Amino acid sequence: MIRKSLAAVALAAIVPVASAKTVSMCVFDVIGANGDFYNMVKDYALEMKAHGVDFDLKPYTDEGVAVGDFNAGQCDAVAATDIRTRPFNRFTGSISAVGALPTYDDLKTLLATLAQPKAAPLMKENGYEVLGIVPVGAGYLFVNDRSIDTAGELAGKRMATLDYQKDAIHMVNFVKATVVPSDITNFAGKFNNGSVDTAYAPAFAYEALELYKGLGKDGGIVDYPLAQLTIQVIARDDVLPDASAQKAREVAWGMFPQAMDLISGQETAIPDDKWVKIPEKDIQGYQEMFRQNRLEMRDGLNGAPNVYHPKMLGLLSKIRCASNPASSGCTAGNRE
């Protein structure tokens, strides 16, 4: 009897592994297989094995190639920045809307909400499904001259701008700066060799992409989050059954503390004297400027690209106003 019970236990342990669904995933990390974010996706994949999904990961240092291979059917899923994955899901792709989430506490509230089963219908769009969202850090403006700390001083400055990030291009044009078309593989080099005056990136780029070289002695990092950047796992919506897809999103949400520990370490590792502080009165002006631009890019007004999802902007507005009800955008007649 004991021998039979042991055999049954062994069989039960083997069956889930044998029946696990293998899903190939192209994973972008600018550092490749040794990068922090690739390793975070590895942790995500490891936990998903316990839920019957075996992700087979393939690292990419070029995000465009990773997404291109996904489009070509060479992988079942892709993990890339929301800037690149926005065409697959405009709703989750609008998380990085300019100035929409000023704090990590607001981001935590948002991602907790999106991991709930009731949000599942919004994770599907145009034959694709979002299987997870993990933060990679707020995007900051790196400048080679610390005096570039207001929107007015950006006029005429050369800004490395991802040529596929339509909202960033609109903002650069709005402040009358000069767009220098770039991509994830070359923007850091352009900033570091002085080809551009400013670049936009999370804190990890300070060391990983050596942006400290571009800062030099006179530059700095403007201490205001322009957007919250995330890595999103996108798959064709027939790759996983709904229950497994929901579990995948919950597993990704469970990694929030790990991701924030990583981000916090990257931000605190930057020397204090490299951060450029902005007066509170200027911040209020920026917030309104960003809000007007979000409205334009929600509705496609004044030549703006129609890139932001109205439902996501409405959700972000509710979260901001719950944590900071005194904000001018919370009482405006044209609230998001």
- The mean pLDDT value of the chain amounts to 91
Q: What is the mean pLDDT of residues 146-156?
A: 85
**Confidence grade of residue 3 (pLDDT, cut at 50, 70, 90):** very low
Residue 16 confidence (pLDDT) above 60: no
Residue 314 confidence (pLDDT) above 80: yes
* DSSP string for residues in 278-296: --HHHHHHHHHHHHHHHHH
Task: Tell which wins on pLDDT, 280 or 77.
Answer: 77
Of 274, 238, 278, 6, nearest in space to 131 by CA: 238
Pairing type for strands 198-201 and 178-182 reads unpaired
Residue 176 confidence (pLDDT) above 70: yes
**Confidence grade of residue 328 (pLDDT, cut at 50, 70, 90):** low
Q: What is the mean pLDDT of residues 9-15?
A: 44
Cβ neighbours for 113, distance < 8 A, ≥ 6 positions apart = 119, 315, 319
Contact status, residue 58 vs residue 75, Cβ threshold 8 Å: yes
How far apart CA 69 and CA 224 sit, in angstroms, is: 35
Residue 17 confidence (pLDDT) above 60: no
What is the reported pLDDT for 327? 75
Distances (CA, A) of 302 to 105, 272, 295, 310: 32, 39, 10, 17
Task: Tell which wins on pLDDT, 163 or 39.
Answer: 39
Residue 13 confidence (pLDDT) above 70: no
75: Cα within 13 Å, side-chain hemisphere: 24
Identity of the amino acid at 38: Y
In the chain, the percentage of residues whose pLDDT exceeds 90 is: 77
Residue 92 confidence (pLDDT) above 80: yes
**Confidence grade of residue 184 (pLDDT, cut at 50, 70, 90):** confident
For 3, the token pair is 């021998």
In the chain, the percentage of residues whose pLDDT exceeds 70 is: 93
Phi/psi of residue 136, nearest 5 degrees? -120, 0
How far apart CA 282 and CA 299 sit, in angstroms, is: 26
Q: What is the mean pLDDT of residues 221-227?
A: 93
**Confidence grade of residue 1 (pLDDT, cut at 50, 70, 90):** very low
Residue 7 confidence (pLDDT) above 60: no
Of 80, 193, 209, 186, nearest in space to 140 by CA: 209
How far apart CA 47 and CA 327 sit, in angstroms, is: 40
How far apart CA 198 and CA 92 sit, in angstroms, is: 27
pLDDT in tens, 32-48: 999 999 999 999 999 99
What is the reported pLDDT for 333? 67
Residue 331 confidence (pLDDT) above 80: no
What is the reported pLDDT for 11? 42
How far apart CA 52 and CA 19 sit, in angstroms, is: 7
- Segments in the chain forming alpha helices (H): 2-19, 36-49, 63-71, 82-85, 90-93, 104-114, 166-174, 187-192, 205-208, 212-215, 242-254, 256-268, 280-299, 310-323
How far apart CA 22 and CA 209 sit, in angstroms, is: 33
For 324, the token pair is 């900071």
Which range (93-107, 140-154, 246-260) has the least confidence? 140-154
For 278, the token pair is 């902005």
What is the reported pLDDT for 288? 86
Length of the chain: 336
DSSP tally for the chain: helices H, then strands E: 14, 10
Exposure string over 183-208, b if 16+ CB within 10 A, otherwise e: ebeebbbbbbeeebbbbbbbbbbbeb
